[in-house]
Structure 1
């Protein structure tokens, strides 16, 4: 539903006067609560499902028991049995992330009357509310409006009265910090009020039926304006998470909310706050009136007693109890691997429900039941039944053949030099941009065209979270494995100095190594693999010296055998995310010379179709970079998939050895060592 500013203002005024409910679902007067009555209320959370509805990997065309909403649904049913008074809330990044999602959005778009498969699955078990993550905006505003059953009053879309009423989820979506530039109104209701009927006990222990009014308010990362600039620029404004909460939480309280739950699609950053902060929940917890925070986006777990990061151990963070500044907070992993639970004990004081904060319990419930045996909770068969048609259609689509390869393309050892999964992506992007420049941008015809890409799947999710395309036939599912995201091709113009700045940022993928240490040192930092941009061009060469501090690691940077000219200009093929939000890589809007509407993945598919046969010599062995050689007193280690040493050897990485084929995590990971002196 779209709010107009006059309607919103009038509704707020009425609420503050004790009148009508602006954002809630009832204007019934509240019943008198018996003093000292008690109740239990559990808030259940899903987050970052990324359209992983079934325990199935569309890239490998195989079952993957570690993921899938069909197992999450079992966790939800178990929690509902344990906590009869409950609300189920989704925290976003819900409708994008699998080949099924892309099929419904891009290949055979769902019709207005057709409910999205993800929402069909969620409605099968029943949600009470949800918010939107950054990836909800990946397919553009018209698609988002359609599949969520919403009408947006934004530039570039028909007048609201002319927009059809389309099928959306059966639960309300809320979002407080994204508004239309056209009229200033929120795209979605900022919050919803749920009059939750609960079973309680009066002071004498007698069971009574009563109501708790819960407000759910939603937030998404402000950086969506950069990440999806092509869809959002000039159409929406984004407010800071704290600023939006400060505005709307008092309104929810004024409407009678007993509990306010923030569904905030972000993690927590303990650095200095700004309205553009991506992970603002540490500061959101300080906003008066918020009783709990449901988190996501970072694909992590909280509470987490063994977490050793600075953010987990910052002042005000209780990583064991799961609180920020005393406010309960939970983050339930990703892809359906867990649910979050905040269990409140409530008591009536002075005629109002209050939280007995000393008894609040925050926890995670995981689909993985035994890490050693690798056993998981059973699936809920109802989920597969409601998405059977869409699931089968997506499988048929991704099986479409596009070419052949005489080598395997994988990212198991991309962090240490294997380019088999990177080079063909770079070649496709460079070919596309070079042809476009030649046909449409004659002023740049003499500039060299290079390309960067990154190992999008680099083990974050465990030993199977790597690109792994086998030698032989290549199909669309393999192209999706090589290029994970629905990005579009962008071309940027940079100088030689700009290339060095770009590479210095990418080199933050590595920890600084002390050659004198005799103890093992981990090579890989927390810097995401999807930001480890690399060139794979015979014309460009550079070294990464991991013994040096950040910003001083790129050595011997040459172009065509000579030191690169700092002022020389180059065209770099990349993607919309990097081009529009790559300030840390030295990029601004002024660098962009072409913003293509064509998806990187489609460009890759077309390139492979044209090439027909990929060969290792031509398409998988051109390394632009190497580590600067250095002898270390102790081992330098990294984690990858178990039992994959032969992959490194085939890629010519003779300086890799196995430390252990099982790192003890239960995630199918092994520990490897790299000899940096070779």
Structure 2
């Protein structure tokens, strides 16, 4: 239903149009278990984001508007030690669910990361929710075991009584429908294959919204765990917000998944996007950032026509909890008190002693060839895979190990870098080094496959013309975690070449070859050479520019989290010595310089003499330290 989105949002009773009321929808998305404003990796309080800060805004927004709903748009349950590492009994309430119950959420959509721990885990954790979970485009596969039965509904009708502007009390029936990228069945194939199937988001929403209308819904709110992408719509889109907004039965939409903010200048100039009014294709819309950085608001003015309420006007907006890196909203004391037992238990867990490092492990220079943090993880992966393959048909095949710098800035900000100092190690350091619940996978690959893997990783960088001065090094639309390094070979990256693939994995330039001088044990790698590649289940399932591995390529699928393998290694090897030798570098470009943005914490880390020539240039407006790199 396309509605009026004029700037005058103060609904007033109109002659012959019946009663009017104002409805405010509060929305969170991609909080990723950032409940407290606490950095469990650095053991430091007062981070400028988190649900505890959002709780203060939620209270303020409710005080301003008596008619409110509070909804979550997915990716809430996973992402920090309080959710991923807290050792609790199966019957204990999940801290995130406990916090959402405390804040009285009305409904929630599922995000793709909700499935990272498997269906059985998710079923156990959401059973304590005092609100419904919905998802319209995921369903049990035909013939799947009983354990795959859905514990969410495709949509949900909320019956609420609200106060009109004239003071009268009125019943409203509000339909909630939710969708997520259908690629989730690939990303979490280990957990979902043979059990859950996915469908196109637009078609699922169209179908379910029509059912909600037939069921008496006065309005339909879409929780769309998806981002904004221009271009012709096509089946299976990952970021389908624009075609979703065009659907006639949708009155308002919450977006997410891509960790952006809407409305914001990030989307200036896009067709069908109105940033002043906060609409897409005429539909009020909002995307509330991530980690609890913003509270999304959809303000709708409704009018009673006959026996049904209709949306007269609406807009989307996003309230921040910080300005830059400085928090402007205090944490809610009641939620902090409510979460104190889980928070304190997490601190006891993360502070548990593991071992010792005789040198720093950080990711400040991971994008220019200094990779001690990733190389430690690579060593752990290779050793674990070697043990698993010993004595089998792949024993003796060279094992390579691929790792990404999970925390290396980008949209996560200048504080999002791994920074493990020399000295005693605790479990929080293992979580800092490996922040995701991934498991080990071994792939049988060829030399040609290896080259394509590295080409996919190298799309992180901009194309730099020889002789350029202070060229931006990193492509801003590519997240740093795309950049995999492969330990066990040496190679160079030619920045004068354009990227070979797009972020979605499409071949965009078949003539482009950024990877040069690829060698194994000093010998050039040939296309027919055979290797075993140690990686993780997320990457092996296909993500970003990386193609999904064929089942025949998979020689090992582990069950233990790589972070736990890392913790075992740190405990068994005291001290751990960081490997600072270089396995890759940029192909030399004399007279050329580029700019890398890194965390200001780099100033406290003394780089080893074999790092590339770099010159600090100061802190930029976003809080990053700018470094000039001589190529």
TM-score (norm 2): 0.91
Does residue 578 of the first structure (1) align with residue 539 of the second (2)? yes
Which residue number in structure 2 is paired with residue 502 of structure 1? 453
- Within 2, Cα distance between the matches of 1:590 and 1:582? 18
Of 134, 138, 151, which aligns to 1:178? 138
CA contact (8 A) 1:423 1:622 kept: no
Of 321, 338, 347, which aligns to 2:294? 338
Q: Deviations over 1:211-252 (max 9, x none)?
A: 222111111221111111111111111111112112111000
Q: Deviations over 1:510-547 (max 9, x none)?
A: 0111235457434344212112100233xx11100111
Matches within 5 A, 1:156-195: 168-182=128-142, 187-195=151-159
CA contact (8 A) 2:227 2:240 kept: yes
- Within 2, Cα distance between the matches of 1:486 and 1:266? 22
- Within 2, Cα distance between the matches of 1:320 and 1:534? 42
Quickly say closer, same or farther: Cα 1:528–1:521, change in 2 above 3 A. closer
Quickly say closer, same or farther: Cα 1:556–1:221, change in 2 above 3 A. same
Q: Deviations over 1:171-212 (max 9, x none)?
A: 1111111111247975411111112222113xxxx3211122
Of 362, 365, 371, which aligns to 1:413? 365
Which residue number in structure 1 is paired with residue 599 of structure 2? 641
Of 83, 98, 103, which aligns to 1:120? 98
**Secondary structure at the counterpart of residue 388 of structure 2:** helix
CA contact (8 A) 2:179 2:223 kept: yes
Which residue number in structure 2 is paired with residue 229 of structure 1? 189
- Within 2, Cα distance between the matches of 1:363 and 1:143? 34
Which residue number in structure 2 is paired with residue 658 of structure 1? 616
Cα displacement (A) at 1:472: 0.3
Quickly say closer, same or farther: Cα 1:34–1:95, change in 2 above 3 A. farther
**Secondary structure at the counterpart of residue 541 of structure 2:** helix
Cα displacement (A) at 1:449: 0.5
Cα displacement (A) at 1:40: 0.8
5+ long unaligned stretches in structure 2 = 1-14, 501-512
Q: Deviations over 1:260-293 (max 9, x none)?
A: 1111112122244344322222221122201111
Of 344, 347, 350, which aligns to 2:303? 347
Of 552, 561, 579, which aligns to 1:599? 561
**Deviates most, 231-240 or 606-615:** 606-615
Matches within 5 A, 1:458-473: 458-459=408-409, 460-473=411-424
- Equivalent pairs counted in the alignment come to 599
Does residue 57 of the first structure (1) align with residue 12 of the second (2)? no
Which residue number in structure 1 is paired with residue 506 of structure 2? none
- Within 2, Cα distance between the matches of 1:192 and 1:371? 37
Which residue number in structure 2 is paired with residue 256 of structure 1? 216
Cα displacement (A) at 1:323: 2.1
CA contact (8 A) 2:256 2:289 kept: yes
Of 378, 389, 401, which aligns to 2:353? 401
CA contact (8 A) 1:504 1:554 kept: yes
CA contact (8 A) 1:175 1:186 kept: no
Which residue number in structure 2 is paired with residue 198 of structure 1? 162
- Within 1, Cα distance between the matches of 2:291 and 2:24? 22
Cα displacement (A) at 1:560: 1.4
What value does the CA root-mean-square deviation take over the aligned residues? 2.0
Q: Deviations over 1:577-617 (max 9, x none)?
A: 111125843533332111111111111111222222112xx
5+ long unaligned stretches in structure 1 = 1-32, 150-167
- Within 2, Cα distance between the matches of 1:514 and 1:259? 53
- Within 2, Cα distance between the matches of 1:518 and 1:239? 47
